[in-house]
Amino acid sequence: MSIAVQTETLVEFVERAFTRQGQKIALKIITASGREQISFAELQERAERFAATLRKRGLQRGEKCAIIGRPRVDWAVAFLGILKAGGVVLPIDASWQPVEVQRVLREMDAVGAVVSDAPHYEMVKDQSQLQHLVTMDRIPGIPSVRDWLSAERLRGVPADPDEVAVMLCTSGTTGNAKGVMLSHANIVSNATSSLSRLDFSEDDVVLGIPPWYHVFGLIILVCCLHAGAQLVYTDDYKNLLTYMAENRVNILVGVPKLFHAMYEKLEATIQQNRLARFLWRYAPKLLGTKIKRRLVGDAQLKYFLSGGAPLDARVMKGFRRLGIGMVEGYGLTETSPVLTVSTPFNDKIGSVGPAIPGVELRIDDPNEEGIGEIVARGPNIMKGYYKNPEATKKVLEPDGWFHTGDLGYLDKDGWLYIKGRKKNVIVLEGGKNVYPEEVEFELKQIPLIEEIMIKGGKRKGVEVIKAFVYPKPELLQKHSLEELKKMIWEAIKEKSKDLAPYKRVHSIHDLIILDKPFEKSSKLDIKRYLYEEA
């Protein structure tokens, strides 16, 4: 199936609803440190004034400007402002450590950065290539986004929809960060097709957990702005249910970790209440009605939307049994990101749904069960990796087919089931991707370690990062494995300070000490499949 070639830029697409929505609140940001909000009209005005300043300061069409921080009103202002000025937005994970941020800024040729606070400013202030540096917080002596709101307004620099709009990066710990180049047309086509399934409208209030520097969070932001829906963002999970009720939320967007926690808490509450136990067994829809009323008052709860990692089938079945729809999607950064979206009450538990309009899927080299690599094609497929034609060629065929590195199969109706990952990437329950080579690069600098392999594994049913370590041979002669485990664990904890928290090995139980070198292939690659359990 194909869809019309996109002729809009991302700015034009996003702002289509702005005039109609006017003073309606577009974004609400609720965090433990405070609240802020902005209307559609004010967001457009501030973005145009910020864009005017960027152009006056010399930002050229196609130059890259990073945004480093969690969602804020000024994050959205900077995002639209950079695009309006003709620049390319480079969102960077707020949890990355200084060495990671600095390498990505250099390797992606960033000329500017909008940072959230003083610690992030300290990370980048000495980067000589940054010609434009501004903060979201007000810090004495340092310009803020508010300071850069020009008296004039810039409606926008003309752009070709095929030009790069956003670059999202794998981290640069190894010195070879891959910048995923997404064009205006990539993102617009993906948002258009996704909305045909998600059905966001201007009457909806969407509470989104994924941060906007993650491609999942970014596409939700784009979809909400285009549809005229109000987007509420929070990272204050403890009070999530309160915020849902306050704002009469009817679509909740999150990662599996959130929905797992919600469902476990719900199960525990039901077990403690005799009437709830009875209703759960004999009238689950009636119980669900009571739960929905407590969650969002008299608002019509449409569904929960899960993405970023696989969702536990038990959680999906449980919510649906209560009459709460659960939608699951699948995609990658390189696909802008959505490839498939399911429906709220389908009976294909375990499927991430059929391809969205405009996307083609095929299964390469299927085995006898039909499981093979998932390959996709469509207008949402990235332009390539920045300055990395070799890496691009490995995943992108000349005729546009993209190799996801994931394994799965398609049923007779074209619904996709994910069965595993061909790549080494570890996908944590919260949706974060961890690239083993990055962690290995950092930890193998520890003098005690001869060889190290990082791999995903399960502990108490949750995906965790495991480290398999072969110590220096001379140490094996002097110390027991248990002694070495304690020594190496202390060294790993210290060295891990250079890694974002989600990339760290979090427990000594996830450290496995080997008494002989890793088995390797003829290419001297570690045979990862041999090392599954502690």
Beta bridge partners of 424: none
H/E stretch holding 96? none
- Assigned domain for 33 exists: no
179 shares its domain with 255: no
- Assigned domain for 219 exists: no
Q: What is the mean pLDDT of residues 464-488?
A: 95
CATH number at residue 447: 3.30.300.30
**Which pLDDT score is estimated for 430?**
85
- Assigned domain for 239 exists: yes
End-of-domain residue from the set 373, 399, 421: 421
Beta bridge partners of 467: 454, 511
Q: What is the residue range of 253's domain?
A: 226-421
151 shares its domain with 102: yes
265 shares its domain with 325: yes
511 shares its domain with 404: no
Helix axes 256-271, 313-321, angle to 10 degrees: 60
Report the sign of the C-alpha dihedral through residues 158, 339, 16, 93, in that order.
negative
CATH number at residue 336: 3.40.50.12780
- Assigned domain for 221 exists: no
Chain mean pLDDT for the chain: 92
CATH number at residue 62: 3.40.50.980
- Assigned domain for 344 exists: yes
396 shares its domain with 469: no
Q: What is the mean pLDDT of residues 379-397?
A: 96
367 shares its domain with 488: no
At residue 209, the 3 state secondary structure works out as: coil
**Which pLDDT score is estimated for 252?**
97
Q: Is the pLDDT of residue 3 over 60?
A: no
* pLDDT tens track for 25-36: 999 999 988 999
374 shares its domain with 445: no
Please state, in angstroms and rounded to a whole number, the distance separating the CA atoms of residues 244 and 237: 11
Q: Is the pLDDT of residue 2 over 50?
A: no
- Assigned domain for 176 exists: yes
* pLDDT tens track for 165-218: 999 997 544 456 789 999 999 999 999 999 999 999 999 999 999 999 999 999
Please state, in angstroms and rounded to a whole number, the distance separating the CA atoms of residues 410 and 318: 25
Classify residue 29 by burial, with Cβ atoms within 10 Å: 0-12, 13-18, 19+: buried
b/e 290-313 (16+ beta carbons within 10 angstroms → b): ebbeebbeebebbbbbbbbbbbee
E-only strand ranges, 245-318: 251-254, 303-306
Amino acid identity of 101?
Answer: V
Q: What is the mean pLDDT of residues 87-94?
A: 96
End-of-domain residue from the set 365, 392, 421: 421
- Assigned domain for 441 exists: yes
End-of-domain residue from the set 124, 151, 183: 183
282 shares its domain with 372: yes
Please state, in angstroms and rounded to a whole number, the distance separating the CA atoms of residues 468 and 12: 50
**Which pLDDT score is estimated for 171?**
56
The single-letter DSSP state of residue 8 is S
168 shares its domain with 53: yes
* pLDDT tens track for 314-368: 899 999 999 999 999 999 999 999 999 999 999 999 999 999 999 999 999 998 8
Q: Is the pLDDT of residue 369 over 90?
A: no
**Which pLDDT score is estimated for 423?**
66
Q: Do residues 115 and 105 lie in contact, with contact meaning Cβ atoms separated by under 8 Å?
A: no
414 shares its domain with 443: no
465 shares its domain with 378: no
The single-letter DSSP state of residue 142 is B
Please state, in angstroms and rounded to a whole number, the distance separating the CA atoms of residues 269 and 284: 14
Query: Looking at the 3D structure of the chain, how many domains does it have?
Result: 3
- Assigned domain for 501 exists: yes
Please state, in angstroms and rounded to a whole number, the distance separating the CA atoms of residues 404 and 416: 13
Q: Quickly tell me which residue has 């009469």 as its tokens.
A: 248
462 shares its domain with 502: yes
